[in-house]
Chains A and B, each alone.
Chain A
Amino acid sequence: MESVRYLARNPVWLLGLGLFIFFSVTTSHFLTAYNLSNVLFQCALVGLLATGLTPVIISGNIDLSVGAVVGLSSCLVIGMQEQIGLAGAIAVALGSGLCLGLLNGLAVERLGVSSFIITLAGMIGTRGLAFLYAGDTSLSAIDEQLYDLTMLHVGPVTLIPFIFLTAVLCFQWMLRRTVHGRNTYAIGGSRSASTNAGIPVSRHVVINFIICGLMAAICGVAMAANLGAATPSYGKDYELWAVIAVVLGGTRLRGGKGDLIGTFAAVLALAILRNGLNMLHVAPFYIPGIMGLALIAALVLDRQLNRASKTAE
């Protein structure tokens, strides 16, 4: 009974399952071990972003700059390798995401401007930084060291999907079992009540932005590693995918509600959808359209579910 209720609240699992069955039946290449590992890899990239974004949205904010951070960090990790070595380059790339997250968080909290505007502007500015660093060109890796990292196996899964799965579990634990997580829900539920209750609101919000920036940078490094190259326009529109995944996963846009399990299911469902459409030879032009419709559908769903739960209370 509990599980039935859970599915009713999180229909995205059913959506994913439905898509899985649909594409397994209609295409011959979908249900193969090779393709499924491919799906897992594809969902890992957007998944890293969505994982980082979930706590930010639960605390009632949004970060639209994650796609641009992907572009910047991927350029940094490729470009810096020659001068300071692989480990240094990865550190710089991750550090850039961390700093931008800190900057966004501080701007939101100290200036008191809505996170939407701060990160929308941050999205343009960070993209500008990526172009400023890389120029108008793409960068390619000097050797295959970085690429070799992605080939590491942990059991049957390669490194990048493994990082994603670990992150999902860690974040779920953080949200459900730590003080920071509990306060994140409280802040999203009612900011003023949290302030009155003595919760250090600013600190938790800034921490969530930092984590989000860091996850975006990890995504950028993973992308660069996988392709052995980077261009400053990497990650364009990824913020859209990430927001879609988080909202589709049942996290409430106004904050206070949601979890990583829902986000994980939504990321998986979206990756299945995208992969399956490719298998059906749907022209790539349609993809942004389907993405946009999915976002609007997720929004309608978000409102309906939250209205339903409000009347139930």
Chain B
Amino acid sequence: MKDIGRPSARQLLIAAAVLVLLTGGATVPGLFSFDNITQMLRQISVTGIIALGVTFVVIAGRLDLTVGSLLSLCAVVAITLHDEISPVAAVTVPIIIGLVVGCINGFLVAILRLNSLIATLGMLSVLQAVALVWTSGQNALIDRPEATWFAVIGRGYLLDVPIPVLIFLLLAALTAILLGMTRFGREVFSVGGNEIASRFSSIAARQVLFTCYMISGTLTGMAAIVFSSRVMAAQNNSGSGLELQVLSAVILGGTSLAGGDGGIGRTIIGVVLLGFIQNALLLIGLPYYVQWLVSWVVIIGVVWADVASRRGRVLA
């Protein structure tokens, strides 16, 4: 198949990213301090949890752009329900909302067979509207953040490790098992690799796709709980643009946008690398929008490397 000894584009990319990281560590003071690493990991855990779910959708050869506004919606719901009903509602309802939205996305893409990019782009603005209507355009916050156990999820520590990081690792382990060791996981790869062939192999491609979207939605609901518990407040556009960050992390890790190739481990690498790069940019003191320029270059570079390695030529 592939000659051994010649590095794949993915390995080169990871090597390049590690090189960037080491240069960053050498030039940016404090980048690799224990405190900064824990803080950085805590920050990326929300993106990371969402990226785990999106990985399933991308491996199945589709996209889910709803995650950003779904996070906004679930976060404002969690925050408002916390004070109005109870903290228990704040940790259950968002997951249910995520699941329902995942089902709607699954219905649009898997059952109606719509273009996943445009369909989830449409859902993105629908969810944005729902979040706005839910809050009447206001921002939501929890009145007494110090007096509730809800704060533990996002702010707590266990043995010096932030709880969000532990949640991220736990979910990563679960999704890695689901994707790597179960029949469903293999079916996801086969649907993404060649949908028609998978159908001829009597795989229920529609159900597999539908389930991928359900996983993505549910994990986004969970991420929203971690997010709102950390911030103890939510704007109705908290997650705006997050879908692109998540997507860049997933493809930076080396999951192919063409579908059929990827993994949870790769996504974790992508999320951590992206987190370090953004963190380093902030530590240098560059304004936040410089990150966008970096994302521009990184996303195109990564996808290019992916496409080029598969076609065996650098240029089209």
Contacts and interface: CB of A to CB of B under 8 A. Distances in A.
A293 B108 CA distance: 12
Interface string A277-305: 00000010111111111111001100100
A302 to B, nearest CB: 9
Contacts of A240: 121, 125
Interface in B225-265: 241, 244, 247-248, 257
A292 B73 CA distance: 15
Contact of B122 (A114, A116, A121, A293): A293
B262 to A, nearest CB: 15
Contacts of B300: 107, 111, 113, 117-118, 121
Interface string B118-140: 11011111111110110011000
B125 A112 contact: no
B307 A295 contact: no
A294 B126 CA distance: 10
A257 interface: no
Interface in B263-316: 287, 289-293, 295-297, 299-300, 303-304, 307-308, 311, 315-316
A285 B137 contact: yes
A128 B125 contact: no
Query: In which size bucket is the chain A interface?
Result: 35 or more
A292 B129 contact: yes
Interface stretch (B90-98, B109-117, B209-217): B109-117
A121 B296 contact: yes
A121 B295 contact: yes
A292 B296 contact: no
B293 A110 contact: no
Contact of A288 (B128, B290, B293): B128
Contact of A125 (B108, B129, B295, B304): B295
A112 B112 contact: no
Most chain B beta carbons < 10 A, residue from A122, A124, A129, A283:
A124
Interface string A118-137: 10111011111101100010
B115 A286 contact: no
Most B C-beta atoms less than 10 A away, residue of A122, A136, A283, A289? A289
B113 A303 contact: yes
A131 B290 CA distance: 9
Contact of B316 (A110, A116, A121, A288): A110
Nearest to A293: B126
Contacts of A237: 125
Interface in B128-179: 128-130, 132-133, 136-137
A180 B283 CA distance: 50
21 contacts: A110-B316, A111-B316, A112-B316, A120-B244, A121-B248, A124-B295, A124-B299, A132-B293, A253-B118, A285-B136, A286-B129, A286-B133, A288-B128, A289-B130, A292-B124, A292-B127, A295-B121, A296-B126, A299-B122, A300-B112, A303-B113
Interface of B: 108, 112-115, 117-119, 121-130, 132-133, 136-137, 241, 244, 247-248, 257, 287, 289-293, 295-297, 299-300, 303-304, 307-308, 311, 315-316
